[in-house]
Each structure stands twice: as structure tokens, then as C-alpha cells.
Structure 1
Amino acid sequence: MAENQSTSEQLSSAQKLALFVLLGAQFMLSVDFSILNVALPQMGEGVGLSLADLPWVASAYALPAAGFTLLFGRIADLFGRRRLFLTGIGLLTVASLLGGFATNAAMLLSARVLQGFANAIAIPAAMALLITTVADERARARVLGLNGALLSGGFTVGALVGGSLVSALDWRWAFWINVPVAVAIMVLTPLVIKESVRPAGVKLDVPGAVTVTAGLLALVYGVSMQSWIALVVGAVLIAAFWFVELRAKAPLVSLTLLNRPNIKWGNYGGIVAFVMASGVNFGLTLYMQDVLKLAPFTTGLVFGVPGLVAVVAGVVAGRMIGRYGYRNVLAVGLLVQGLTTVPLLLTGTSTTPSLAVIVPSLFLMYFGHVTAVVAYTVTATSGLEDSQQGLATGLATLAQQIAVTIGIPIFGALVATRTDVLDGVHFAMQVQVVVILVSVALIWIGLRDRVVPAGPAAAERQEPVPTAEAQQPAPVPVSRNVSENTV
């Protein structure tokens, strides 16, 4: 049995090459995102954007990235994932060149919009190609864990290297740095990745695509710009999308798919993980610079060094999922992320004692966060046919995009309920702990009785194996074991 297990997990040379290209693309995208965030002030100054208008640089990216992810994930299923992946990487190359040569705000914002579209096109297709390249679910869990490690590593590398790169050269290199890598990916992809099989006779649900895309755009805009009108419009459009899908012959998103416990609760876990991570990072940044008066570079080091543990978490998460099941790993990962927020409530106005609390807490928090992120990705993409993976990964990516977009405004609103910054940050973190504890309980209940037995011991207990709809990866042996994004 062990011999067959080992054989089933071996990857061919072609699979390894395909994974190398796809994982390299994911790493490039995370580095690019992180470096651009570091360079935001210099970008604004370089093209004449005021401090008040600087958030538009982020929003110009976030709107298409979140609004069109689900649509392009489904298009990848219907018209070819490799084709969409190459289109996204090609568009990213053009956008990066345009951004690097920007001489005014309009050019810069246009480049960011194109980058958002590029990510919405490329990421769901890349994730679907990753998942379908590896048929064995044990190996697939380890590949997703490795993907998570590289995404986390990319964010950390971008944060640590970005400031030095921009300072030594120019903010334009924050755009140009990924161009040669993107070109190499476009050259290699047709050589090592086969086109996905396109389902016959299935058409794109245009009414569903229009309503959900417009609804998501309105919701993301409403959160980013704090517009209640946009939020109401978005909610109405999402409700309209629901009714459209009930009557569609070939719906964009099958409501049966959305009702699967692993899809529903997996993506909910991802939203919680990313909302809380983006919120606490924002809160700690505000606290360290406003209360402790730390320089931005020092603040980056405080985040960057503990962020290295996220790479380790991504590597081992796939192994843990195979051994203990995605329900257990997702719940425990979120629990660790939440409970390690508690020591941060002890921070005060003294720098050294506060950093002595923050740094160890971040090490554990990032480990729990990335473990939960890998687990939610596996949860939300398990037990599906290959023809549905583009849609499933689109949903998982959408959960991340929306969570990152709303995390900071929510945390900021909680901080603003207190007149003192330190009190506000502490209050927001208290709310975070409560939300995570409640969410862990909901996920634990929602995924109950859907756990594949882990290892021979479970087989001896003759526990039932779940149906394909609820099945998760089989046990992963203790050999070498994938977003984002993660921290």
C-alpha cells in the first residue's frame, strides 16, 4: 500500500515544469503587489497626485481585480485556462510598462486599472491550472501549500526589497521589475502547459455575468469610498444576480455549487482570515508609527522578519491537511490567528516592551494565518470536476480580494470609535478576537461529518468516507509537501 501511495504521488517531468511556471507566476504577482504598495508615496509625488488622492492608486487596482475575478474564472473554464492565463500575463506586462513610463496621474491610474484586470484574468486561471495539473489529491494539497509559501514569501520579499529598490533606483522600477519575468513566463507557458479541455455546448451566462460584475464593482467601490449609495446598489445587483441564476439554463455560478458546505464555509474562512490579517496589519502600522513613532523602514522590518515564518507555514500546511483534514486545519489555523491577537492588547506607549510582545505574536499569527489560507483554498476547491475549477478558484480568489478590500476600512472604523489611537487599536483587536472565535465555531459546525478519515487508525475505526461533493484530500505522507496571499 505504501508503495502504491508513493507511486501515485510522483510527478512527471512535464508536471514539474508546468508547476515551476505557474508557481513562479504566483510568486511574481505577489512580489509585484507588495513592491507597488511600498512605492505608493513616491508614485504619487512623481505624477503629481496629492496625499488625499493617493488611495485611488490602490482603488484603481482593487475595483477590476475584485469585480471581474469571478467572471474571468468562469470564462477560463469555458474558453481555455492557458489562453486566459497568457492573456492576463501579457496584459500585466503592458500595464507594467505603461506604469513605469507614466508622466501624469491619468497614465498611472490607467496602468493600475489594467493591472487589476490582468490579475483578475491570470490568477483564477493559474490556480485552476495548478489544481488540475496534479490529479492526486495528496500531492495537490502539498502543491497548494507550496503555492501559499511562495505567495507569502513574495509579499515578504516585496516588502523588504521594495523600499531599497525604490530608494536606490526610482519608483518606476516597482513596475518594471516584473517585465522580464512576465516575458519569460509567456515564452515558457505554451511549451510546458497544455490547454484545458473546453466543455461542449456550454455558453456564457451573460445576464448573470453583467449583474454579478456590476454588483461586485459597486460593493468594492462602496467600501473603498465609504459610499452607502454604492453599497445599496451593489446589494440590489447581487440580489438580482441570485434571481437570474435561479432561472438560467447554464448559470454563471451554480447555486448548488454555492450551497456545498466546503465551498460555502471554505470561502467564509478565507474571508475571515484575510479581513482580520489586513485589519491587524493596518492597526499595528498605525500604532507603531503614530504611538511608538517608529520609522516606516523599521515598521517594515517588524512585519517582514516574522513574515518569513509564513513561508514555513505554507510548506507544512499541505502535509497537515492531508493528515488531519481541512476542517481541523482551517479551524485551528484561524484559532491561532485569533488568539495570538490577545497579547497585542498588552502593548503600550513604551517601544521596547511593546516590540517584545508584537514580534513573537506576529510570528505565531502569520503561521496561523497562512495555514488557514492554504486550508481554505483546499477546502473551497475540493470534490469538484475539473470543468468547475476555474469557477471555484475564481470564487476563492474573489473571497480574498473582497476581504483585503474591506479589512482596512472595517478596522479603521472600529479604531475611529475611540478618541485615543491606542485605545482604538485595542478595541478593534478585541472585536477581531470575538469574530474569529465565533467564526471558528461556525466553520467547525458547518463542515462537521465531512472529514476524510486520516490514516490507518481511522480506517480501523471504520469511519464512513464522505461523498465526492464533500471529500477532501487524502492523507499526505511525511514527505516534502499554496494566497495569497496571505499576509
Structure 2
Amino acid sequence: MTSRERLVLFVLLTASFTLAVDFSILNVALPVIGADVGFSLEHLQWIATSFALCAAGFTLLFGRVSDLYGRRRLFLLGMILLGLSSLAGGLATTPVVLLLARIVQGLATAMVTPAALSLLTTAFPEGPVRARVLGLNGALMAAGFTTGAILGGVLADLLSWRWAFFINVAVAVIVLVIAPGVLKESRNPSRPRLDVPGAVTVTFGLLAIVYGLTRAGETTWGDPLALGTLGVGGLLLLIFWMIEQRVKTPLVSVGILKRSTVAWGNIAGLMAFVTETSLVFLITLYLQNVLGFTPLQAGLCFAVLGAGTVVGGILGPKLINRLGPKNTVVVGLLVQAAATLPLAFLSLDRSWVVLLLVLTFVGGVANLAAIVGFMVMATSGLPDEEQGLATGLATMSQQVGITLGIPIMSALVAARLNALGSETPQNLLSGLSSAIAVNAGLCILTAVLVGLFLRTKAVGHGA
């Protein structure tokens, strides 16, 4: 790579990694934040939920906006918003200010993440180099979620939760100093009109789906509000699909969704993020609520998983060159399942932690290999003018997956606890075991479906 390409890579990967960290950095510190700022216990989850709603709900819209009006422009605007909202969050003394800061952080994430990914795919041509770049991006995105859990525990114990916001300010300043001089503008030269009806229906549909899933995880899957918003979300997405088949310049071309690589690639990516991020949640409960680890001790245990994701990001492109993206996804998910299933037999004995660390490392490697394969599949074989849309879809799969996994798994754990009647460590362990077994099963099911239905002729080994 040239010096300029290395700078491009540094700027874009730094931004993507920081935004991935933001998904989880506050989770461990939520009780402390609530006490400092004045959140009641029942409203505490909105510190995380408000961010996730906007990050997942607006990403497809902003991915398309970047195609039409400029990826560099949207990336820089998003980084400005990230810096300002993070400063406000770090200085917040009331719940309203903190929630508004998290909402704007979510919007900034929805702007920057697909823009950064499409700037990567247009800066590096299809082939081994792009696969390697996407491997690094995938490794840092997945490692960012894990790093957030580690960093959140460290900051909460040693400094202050406010530094989780102030770090973003420093990153935004560095990126905004370097980026204007190294990033080239790219957009669709024809500048078609934005599909406003499609944008409105898909954005509100995704918001409703994400809210409904989050609500179900917090209460039960029988909660009327959760079921109602899920139903509204499904209806809006159906209307969106009907609109896209009729408008002249659709937000999402029906043709791109009919591509086997795009459709099945995004399904694989969605499930890769659902399973791994929710496994982090389940292991956090095991370490803290069953074994009695402190937040800092639990966070440090995830350093091994983080190392596995980095290794997986490095190995992923090599596997793609040897096996092809499809087989890399299938093998990655099957190995992830093999590493996850033994965790369903965790016990109250702390000696299990050694095996847990080994298995999470292996699972992290496999998961990242699958994620790199998904990224290559979902963005290959498309013209530059559709890269924002393709990366918007890929980013949406990632962010919805991160948001989707935890409510599903927490609902499974809660159902088991309700059946057993009390929340003792032994009963919680039983609920965690059931959820972990389902997690492994989802990996196997996804691998089988991708292996059976993704058309291999659409994806070459050199992708």
C-alpha cells in the first residue's frame, strides 16, 4: 500500500473501531451512571437502548444518502456529531442531556459506519487486498464490542464512566484533522432523487423492530407493547418492500436483494453478530452473577476473546483465498458452534474459567473468519455507485444483530428462571446453559442454510 492508502486505512478503521466500542462500553457502568446522573433503575436500559435504536434504525438510510450526496461528506459530518455528542454526554448531569447525547451518538454511528465501509470498498479494488482490508475492518469491529466491555470495566473501576465519552472526543479530533487531506469524495455521479417514502417506512420499520426486540428482552415475549411494535415494524417493512418495487429510483434496488451473495451474506452476518455478542452477554452473567467476579475481572477475561477476533480477522482473508467466501462462512460458523456448545456445561466451579477462555478464543477466531466472509460476499460484484447501499445493508445486519442477540438470549434465560421459580446461582446457571445451547444451534443452522442455498457461482475464490 502507498502511504496515502495506509492513512486512509488508519482513519477509517479508527473511526469504525471507536463506534463499535460505543455499543458496549457503558454496559458494565450503567448502575454507576444511573446513580451519578439520576436515572431510576427501570429507565437505566435506555442509556444503551437509545443508542442502539438510532444506530440500527437509520443506518440503511444513511448508507444510501452517502451514495447520493457523498461518502466523504457524510463521514466527516458524522465524526463532527460524534465528537460534539460525546462531549455533551461526558459533561451530562441530567438524564435528558445524557439520553440526547446517546441518541445523537447513535445517529453519528449510522452515518459514519456505512460511509467508512463504502469508502474502504471504493478505495481498494476487489480481490485479495480488499479482502485483507475488510478482514482488518471486521476484526476491529468485533474486537471493538469486546474491548468496550473491557474498557468500560476498567474506566468504571479506576477513573470515571465519563471517560467513555471523552475518549470519543479525542478520536474525533484526530480523525477530523487527518481525514480531509487523505479521503477522496465518492458518490453516484447520476445523483438520482432520494426515495423519501422508502426511507421513511424502512427507518421507522427498523426502529419499531429494534424497540420491540429490546422491550421483549426486558419484559417477556408476551408483552403487548413488544408484540405490537414488532407487528408495526413488520407491516412497515412490508410496505417498504412494496414501495421499492414501484418507485423509479428505489432506496434499495430489488435487484440487489435478489443477489444470492447479498441476501445470504447478510443473513450470515446477522447471525454471526447475534450469536457472538449475545454470548458475551451470557458469559458476563456467568462470570459476575454465578462466579462472583468483579466488573474489572469479568472485563479482563474478554481480552482473550478480543485476541481471538484479531487473529480471526487476519486469518479470514487467507481462508477466503483458499476456500472462497461461502466456505469460509460455513466453516467459521461450524467451528464457532463447536467452541460454544461445551460452554453449555459450565458449572459453579471456578476451574471452568481456564477452559472458558480457551473456547472463547477459538470461537472468536471462527466468528471473525465468518464475518470477513460475510463482508466480502455482501459487497463484491457490485458497481461503485451501489457500494454505499451494499455497505449500508451489511452495517444494518451487523447493528441489528448486535441489538437482536441480547434480548433473545435474556428472554431464554428469564423463561428458564421463571420455570425454576427463583434466581439462585444454580438456577441462573441452568438458564445460561439453555441459552448457550440455543446459541450454538443457531450457528449450525445458519451454516447449513448458507451451505445449501447460497449459489457458489456468484462468489469467486479471489473475491
Given that 2:126 and 2:380 are in contact with CA atoms closer than 8 Å, whether structure 1 keeps it comes out as no
Q: Residues 171-201 of structure 1, C-alpha deviation per residue, up to 9 Å, x if partnerless?
A: 2111111212211211211111110043315
> 1:164 Cα deviation (Å)?
2.8
In the other structure, the counterpart of 1:474 is 462
Question: In structure 1, what is the Cα distance between the partners aligned to 2:405 and 2:128?
Answer: 32
Question: In structure 1, what is the Cα distance between the partners aligned to 2:214 and 2:24?
Answer: 19
Question: In structure 2, what is the Cα distance between the partners aligned to 1:38 and 1:290?
Answer: 13
> 1:77 Cα deviation (Å)?
0.2
What letter is aligned with 1:16?
A: R
Question: In structure 2, what is the Cα distance between the partners aligned to 1:289 and 1:207?
Answer: 46
In the other structure, the counterpart of 1:400 is 398
In the other structure, the counterpart of 1:325 is 324
Given that 2:154 and 2:296 are in contact with CA atoms closer than 8 Å, whether structure 1 keeps it comes out as no
Question: In structure 2, what is the Cα distance between the partners aligned to 1:406 and 1:161?
Answer: 23
TM-score of the aligned structures, taking structure 1 as reference length:
0.88
CA, structure 1 residues 435+31, in 2 after alignment: closer, same or farther (shift >3 Å)? closer
CA, structure 1 residues 151+137, in 2 after alignment: closer, same or farther (shift >3 Å)? same
In the other structure, the counterpart of 1:416 is 414
Q: Residues 129-163 of structure 1, C-alpha deviation per residue, up to 9 Å, x if partnerless?
A: 01110114210000111112333443444433433
Question: In structure 2, what is the Cα distance between the partners aligned to 1:390 and 1:403?
Answer: 19
Percent of paired sites with the same residue: 49
Given that 1:382 and 1:472 are in contact with CA atoms closer than 8 Å, whether structure 2 keeps it comes out as no
In the other structure, the counterpart of 2:296 is 297
Question: In structure 2, what is the Cα distance between the partners aligned to 1:51 and 1:370?
Answer: 35
Residue 17 (structure 2) aligned to one of 7, 24, 27:
27
Question: In structure 1, what is the Cα distance between the partners aligned to 2:281 and 2:140?
Answer: 22
Given that 2:146 and 2:305 are in contact with CA atoms closer than 8 Å, whether structure 1 keeps it comes out as no
Residue 365 (structure 1) aligned to one of 340, 363, 366:
363
In the other structure, the counterpart of 2:92 is 102
In the other structure, the counterpart of 2:252 is 253
Question: In structure 1, what is the Cα distance between the partners aligned to 2:281 and 2:18?
Answer: 23
What letter is aligned with 2:435?
A: A
Moved more, 331-340 or 19-28: 19-28
Equivalences for 1:419-434 in 2 at 5 Å?
419=420, 420-434=427-441
Question: In structure 1, what is the Cα distance between the partners aligned to 2:60 and 2:105?
Answer: 16
Question: In structure 1, what is the Cα distance between the partners aligned to 2:367 and 2:77?
Answer: 31
What letter is aligned with 1:242?
A: W
> 1:304 Cα deviation (Å)?
2.0
Residue 375 (structure 2) aligned to one of 362, 374, 377:
377
Residue 391 (structure 1) aligned to one of 389, 392, 407:
389
In the other structure, the counterpart of 1:143 is 133
In the other structure, the counterpart of 1:288 is 287
Given that 1:141 and 1:473 are in contact with CA atoms closer than 8 Å, whether structure 2 keeps it comes out as no
What is the aligned-residue RMSD (CA, Å)?
1.6
CA, structure 1 residues 472+114, in 2 after alignment: closer, same or farther (shift >3 Å)? farther
> 1:27 Cα deviation (Å)?
2.4
In the other structure, the counterpart of 1:69 is 59
Given that 1:382 and 1:473 are in contact with CA atoms closer than 8 Å, whether structure 2 keeps it comes out as no
CA, structure 1 residues 471+201, in 2 after alignment: closer, same or farther (shift >3 Å)? same
Question: In structure 2, what is the Cα distance between the partners aligned to 1:136 and 1:371?
Answer: 18
What letter is aligned with 1:422?
A: L
Question: Which blocks of at least 5 consecutive residues in structure 1 are unaligned?
Answer: 1-10, 451-469, 476-487
Question: In structure 2, what is the Cα distance between the partners aligned to 1:370 and 1:358?
Answer: 18
Given that 2:269 and 2:371 are in contact with CA atoms closer than 8 Å, whether structure 1 keeps it comes out as yes
In the other structure, the counterpart of 1:174 is 164
Question: In structure 1, what is the Cα distance between the partners aligned to 2:21 and 2:406?
Answer: 20
The DSSP-based 3-state class of the residue aligned with 2:278 is helix
Question: In structure 2, what is the Cα distance between the partners aligned to 1:93 and 1:16?
Answer: 23
In the other structure, the counterpart of 2:423 is none
What letter is aligned with 1:297?
A: L
Moved more, 110-119 or 268-277: 268-277
CA, structure 1 residues 257+448, in 2 after alignment: closer, same or farther (shift >3 Å)? closer
Question: In structure 2, what is the Cα distance between the partners aligned to 1:82 and 1:31?
Answer: 22
1:115 equivalent to 2:114? Answer no
> 1:336 Cα deviation (Å)?
1.1
The DSSP-based 3-state class of the residue aligned with 2:43 is coil
In the other structure, the counterpart of 1:447 is 454
Q: Residues 332-367 of structure 1, C-alpha deviation per residue, up to 9 Å, x if partnerless?
A: 111111111121122112121x21331111111111
Moved more, 23-32 or 242-251: 23-32
Write 1 or 2 for the structure with the bigger share of helix.
2
CA, structure 1 residues 299+163, in 2 after alignment: closer, same or farther (shift >3 Å)? closer
1:128 equivalent to 2:118? Answer yes
> 1:284 Cα deviation (Å)?
1.9
CA, structure 1 residues 106+25, in 2 after alignment: closer, same or farther (shift >3 Å)? same
In the other structure, the counterpart of 1:195 is 185
Count of aligned residue pairs for this structure pair: 445
CA, structure 1 residues 155+225, in 2 after alignment: closer, same or farther (shift >3 Å)? closer
TM-score of the aligned structures, taking structure 2 as reference length:
0.92
Question: In structure 2, what is the Cα distance between the partners aligned to 1:156 and 1:235?
Answer: 31
In the other structure, the counterpart of 2:221 is none
What letter is aligned with 1:314?
A: G
The DSSP-based 3-state class of the residue aligned with 2:11 is helix
Given that 2:290 and 2:429 are in contact with CA atoms closer than 8 Å, whether structure 1 keeps it comes out as yes
Q: Residues 8-34 of structure 1, C-alpha deviation per residue, up to 9 Å, x if partnerless?
A: xxx333222212211222223234444
Given that 2:270 and 2:398 are in contact with CA atoms closer than 8 Å, whether structure 1 keeps it comes out as yes
The DSSP-based 3-state class of the residue aligned with 2:415 is coil
Question: In structure 2, what is the Cα distance between the partners aligned to 1:86 and 1:201?
Answer: 20
Given that 1:17 and 1:192 are in contact with CA atoms closer than 8 Å, whether structure 2 keeps it comes out as yes
Question: Which blocks of at least 5 consecutive residues in structure 2 are unaligned?
Answer: 217-225, 421-426
What letter is aligned with 2:450?
A: I
> 1:92 Cα deviation (Å)?
0.2
Question: In structure 2, what is the Cα distance between the partners aligned to 1:158 and 1:212?
Answer: 29
CA, structure 1 residues 232+33, in 2 after alignment: closer, same or farther (shift >3 Å)? closer
In the other structure, the counterpart of 1:18 is 8
> 1:426 Cα deviation (Å)?
1.5
Residue 35 (structure 2) aligned to one of 30, 40, 45:
45
What letter is aligned with 1:224?
A: T
> 1:299 Cα deviation (Å)?
1.6
Question: In structure 2, what is the Cα distance between the partners aligned to 1:102 and 1:153?
Answer: 28
